[in-house]
A = this chain, B = another copy of it.
């Protein structure tokens, strides 16, 4: 079982990295990009014994990993997807 975690800055939080990408795209002639946000994606390869292969339990375990290590929940939001 695999889990994909997508971590983005919360909506109100300034994203200078995204802004730099938007600026660089404009400089390369790609107009028509109104805004850019950059985030992280983390793909976890879960061992079969984790949560006994139950997707809901695996999702809860991965959410605990996000709260404990992967995301800074003060400024970041995360989404867990079991694939």
Contact assessment for B44 and A36 in the assembled complex, using a CB-CB cutoff below 8 Å? yes
A residues with CB within 8 A of B: 6, 8, 18, 21, 24-25, 28, 30-47, 49-51, 61, 64-65, 68-70
**Least CB distance, A36 to chain B, in whole angstroms:** 6
**What number of copies of this chain does the assembly contain?**
2
Contact assessment for B32 and A65 in the assembled complex, using a CB-CB cutoff below 8 Å? no
| Chain B hits for A6, CB < 8 A | 41
Contact of A38 among B41, B50, B64, B68 (CB under 8 A): B41
Contact assessment for A21 and B61 in the assembled complex, using a CB-CB cutoff below 8 Å? no
| Chain B hits for A25, CB < 8 A | 65, 69
Contact of A43 among B39, B40, B45, B68 (CB under 8 A): B39
